A and B are shown apart, each in its own frame.
Chain A
Amino acid sequence: MKIHIKGGRLIDPRNNLDAMHDLYLAAGKIVAVGTAPAGFHANRTIDAGGKIVCPGLVDLSARLREPGLEYIATLESEMDAALAGGVTSLACPPDTDPPLDEPGLVEMLKYRARNLNKAHVYPVGALTAGLKGVQLTEMAELRDAGCVAFSHADVPLVDNQVLFYAMQYAATFDIPVWLRPQDASLARNGVAHDGQIATRLGLPSIPVSAETAALAVILLLARETGARVHLCRLSSAAGINMVRRARHDGAKVTCDVAVHHLHLSEMDIGYFDPHCHLIPPLRSQRDRDALRKGLADHTIDAVCSDHCPVDDDAKQLPFAEAEPGATGLELLLPLTLKWAEEDQLPLPVALSRITRDAADILGIDAGHLTVGADADVCVFDPERYWKVEPASLRSQGNNTPFSGIELKGRVTHTLVGGLVAHEA
């Protein structure tokens, strides 16, 4: 299959490319940028006039709800959502049922995903058996089975000795450890940022210190163990400042932010909107502004969709009882574009945070359009408005705080391995 993507604005942050270039794909690879190779006869030409052609997006956190939680969403539905959102590579957290703590489970997930022939799935393994926080998993074997990193998802890991050993053990094999900093006891029972809105609405709260106290421990243990640590979904200005300072002092940590947190704050909870019950909690407007700035100045390396499909039954409950999370795969691109437009950032910077920067954290060869690379490509219309609503989303758990809102930027073509996997 030979494909010619014609007349688009090609943006490839890894190769510092932003120009009107045609792209040529053959046998699953990128074969030329700009001028067609000699004797290239396309089987198909995609007209990208007025559109942007960029690497397929890389998402650092997308829950696919398999194995075990298929009543909420299935691999099929969520992989369709990924493609509709232009995402061609994604990492999935280990908090499935059972958790991804055995090589067999990981191999099965990889096998199921491969057979669907959609986006590439990179499982993040469980740091402890059953995510119970007691016994380490067989990290080296799990890595050989396909895990790219290890995490505790959003399950509290309360025992710092276990965390210390887990980081030491992972460092032995040079395996990355992904952690979302939150002190379990300081966050106990909390459902909203400890601020004005929680005070007004009488919601049990989570103080910023729940994030910073955990961050302090993680940063210290990372230095002591030499583990490669990635911090997931920071939520506060104080947290960003700690990471900035630690990096200045030589710490080799990376971090990301969820795309919802670039746009929403505690204020959006309004009258107890359960769609705004997210993990970590939406914090103050000042925190949100710090996250936006941190992502722009690259203190925050990447932005993820934090895709968490939740069904209506689990959302139509009083705020504190509603299951946290929102669908995100199909909103990652438009919400990243919205951030860039509002903060007047160049498109290549914005796209970098959801392509090459995320791929670097995952440690995979993806997120760029270098000749010879796998042809994972996203073509989108940056000017097309669309309304976020259940009917316009592929994800089975289509709850999102952005429901009913018009967003700009719609994917028209997603190519995986040189084949058109999604077209709209």
Chain B
Amino acid sequence: MWLDPRNPQLNKNGELHHLLSLDGLPADVMRQILDAAESFVGVTQRDVKKVPLLRGKSVFNIFFENSTRTRTTFEIAAKRLSADVINLAIAQSSTSKGESVLDTVANLAAMQADMFVVRHAASGAPYLIAKHVGPDIHVINAGDGRHQHPTQGLLDVFTIRHYKKDFTQLRVAIIGDILHSRVARSQIHALTTLGCPEIRVIGPRTLIPSDIKSLGVQVYEDLREGLKDVDVVSTLRLQNERMKGSLLASGQEFYKYYGITDEALAVAKPDAIVLHPGPMNRGVEIDSSVADGTQSVILPQVSFGIAIRMAVMSIVAGNWRG
């Protein structure tokens, strides 16, 4: 086995081979990705936006679950690295014919893929795939169930670093549906790894996982208490189905108690920034005046997302010489 069994996303030299989770990703690797992304921000602002780091490589976007934004940003990132990109929306094809995940992946590997960008509705699916591909194929997790969305977590800390510089002085609040959120789990691990001293999660008890404190966060049930004096406000998307089941009463009540409005934001630090992974439910988890306001960094997040994905792809491919 060429991978480290204790941390199967690293090879035996401690280098990033797959990106599966930010849980256990060493701080130096995380900083390497952020620094690489910094240099790609420059590239994406040039007239000629391409670099040849992945020339001749084939990147397969395998999406077992629908996505527009993440798939598109991965596609743009791969193209800017000069890779060939093949998009597969498996949600509509093979698995509906009864093919297993591993069979699908084995078939694609036989088409000489170099990299798989995988999204799947089941937590852990990218681990299964990474375990069964050959040593020349790299797997990037583009979101697995409730588990992780590592490139999103990385672009979020990249955005935070861009505006706030030093993690060791920050107070960050993550608000909403923590239970079902792979984004929240990714952010928490990224922030703790980079030395953020205070991470708060805010939400009703039905949306907070039972042992969340073991991840090194503090739990708040009251929005205003939780937002007091924070530097970063990270809002999460509330899935439509949550508003119908028995976890919540209604979107309206959620908005009243946990929606980020100007008035709620007023208790945070005056220079606090507001993040959202998109797509937003305006009037549910966030008010339009905040989403479009001066403290919002939601659109810069999207641009940085491309740079982060370029950085991750070049590093796992072993082609980054920063």
**Quick one: closest B residue to A318, CB to CB?**
B122
Contact check: which of A195, A199, A204, A313 meets B215 at CB < 8 Å?
A199
Chain A residues, CB < 8 A from B148: 202
**Quick one: closest B residue to A194, CB to CB?**
B210
Complex Cα distance, B131 from A319, in Å, reads: 13
Contact check: which of B124, B182, B209, B211 meets A271 at CB < 8 Å?
B124
Contact check: which of A195, A203, A204, A318 meets B128 at CB < 8 Å?
A318
A98 to chain B, nearest CB (A): 24
Q: Per-position contact with B for A9-27: 1 when CB-CB < 8 Å, else 0? A: 0000000000000000000
Contact check: which of A204, A205, A272, A319 meets B210 at CB < 8 Å?
A205
**Is the pair A199, B211 in contact by a Cβ cutoff of 8 Å?**
yes
A311-359, CB < 8 A from B: 313, 316-321
Contact check: which of A196, A199, A320 meets B145 at CB < 8 Å?
A320
**Is the pair A318, B125 in contact by a Cβ cutoff of 8 Å?**
yes
Chain B residues, CB < 8 A from A317: 100-101, 122, 128
**Is the pair B211, A272 in contact by a Cβ cutoff of 8 Å?**
no
Chain A residues, CB < 8 A from B185: 200, 202
Chain A residues, CB < 8 A from B144: 202, 318
Whether a CB of chain B sits under 8 angstroms from the CB of A377 is: no
Complex Cα distance, B210 from A318, in Å, reads: 23
Number of interface residues of B (CB under 8 A): 26
Say whether chain B's binding surface is mostly helix, strand, loop, or mixed: mixed
Chain B residues, CB < 8 A from A199: 209-212, 214-215
**Is the pair B123, A320 in contact by a Cβ cutoff of 8 Å?**
yes
Complex Cα distance, B100 from A247, in Å, reads: 48
Chain A residues, CB < 8 A from B210: 194-195, 199, 205, 207
Whether a CB of chain B sits under 8 angstroms from the CB of A201 is: yes
Whether a CB of chain A sits under 8 angstroms from the CB of B23 is: yes
Chain B residues, CB < 8 A from A321: 122
Say whether chain A's binding surface is mostly helix, strand, loop, or mixed: loop
Complex Cα distance, B214 from A260, in Å, reads: 25
Complex Cα distance, B100 from A318, in Å, reads: 10
**Is the pair A316, B145 in contact by a Cβ cutoff of 8 Å?**
no
Whether a CB of chain B sits under 8 angstroms from the CB of A175 is: no
B177 to chain A, nearest CB (A): 12
Number of interface residues of A (CB under 8 A): 22
**Quick one: closest B residue to A192, CB to CB?**
B123
Whether a CB of chain A sits under 8 angstroms from the CB of B102 is: yes
Whether a CB of chain B sits under 8 angstroms from the CB of A198 is: yes
Which of A271, A274, A319 counts the most B-chain CB atoms under 10 A from its CB? A271
Contact check: which of A194, A202, A271, A313 meets B100 at CB < 8 Å?
A313
Complex Cα distance, B146 from A196, in Å, reads: 14
B198-220, CB < 8 A from A: 209-212, 214-215
**Quick one: closest B residue to A319, CB to CB?**
B124
Whether a CB of chain A sits under 8 angstroms from the CB of B127 is: yes
Complex Cα distance, B128 from A274, in Å, reads: 9
Which of B124, B128, B148 counts the most A-chain CB atoms under 10 A from its CB? B124
Chain B residues, CB < 8 A from A195: 210-211
Whether a CB of chain A sits under 8 angstroms from the CB of B80 is: no
A206 to chain B, nearest CB (A): 11
Complex Cα distance, B188 from A200, in Å, reads: 10
Whether a CB of chain A sits under 8 angstroms from the CB of B17 is: no
Complex Cα distance, B103 from A313, in Å, reads: 10
A99-122, CB < 8 A from B: none
Contact check: which of B8, B123, B127, B212 meets A203 at CB < 8 Å?
B123
B94 to chain A, nearest CB (A): 15
Complex Cα distance, B132 from A271, in Å, reads: 14
**Is the pair A319, B8 in contact by a Cβ cutoff of 8 Å?**
no
A273-332, CB < 8 A from B: 274, 313, 316-321
Contact check: which of A194, A207, A272, A316 meets B123 at CB < 8 Å?
A272
A337 to chain B, nearest CB (A): 27
Complex Cα distance, B96 from A226, in Å, reads: 50
Complex Cα distance, B125 from A272, in Å, reads: 9
A184 to chain B, nearest CB (A): 15
Complex Cα distance, B211 from A200, in Å, reads: 8
Chain B residues, CB < 8 A from A205: 209-210
Whether a CB of chain A sits under 8 angstroms from the CB of B79 is: no
**Quick one: closest A residue to B23, CB to CB?**
A200
Chain B residues, CB < 8 A from A319: 122-124
A residues near B, CB below 8 A?
194-196, 198-205, 207, 271-272, 274, 313, 316-321
20 pairs of residues in contact across A and B, judged by CB atoms under 8 Å: A194-B210, A195-B210, A195-B211, A198-B209, A199-B214, A200-B185, A201-B124, A202-B148, A204-B146, A205-B210, A207-B210, A313-B100, A317-B100, A318-B101, A318-B122, A318-B124, A318-B125, A318-B145, A320-B122, A320-B123
* Additional A-B contacts beyond A202-B148, A318-B128 (12; CB < 8 A): A194-B211, A195-B210, A199-B215, A200-B23, A200-B215, A203-B146, A271-B124, A317-B128, A318-B101, A318-B125, A319-B123, A319-B124
A-B residue pairs, 8 tightest by C-beta: A202-B146, A272-B124, A318-B122, A202-B147, A199-B209, A318-B125, A199-B211, A202-B123
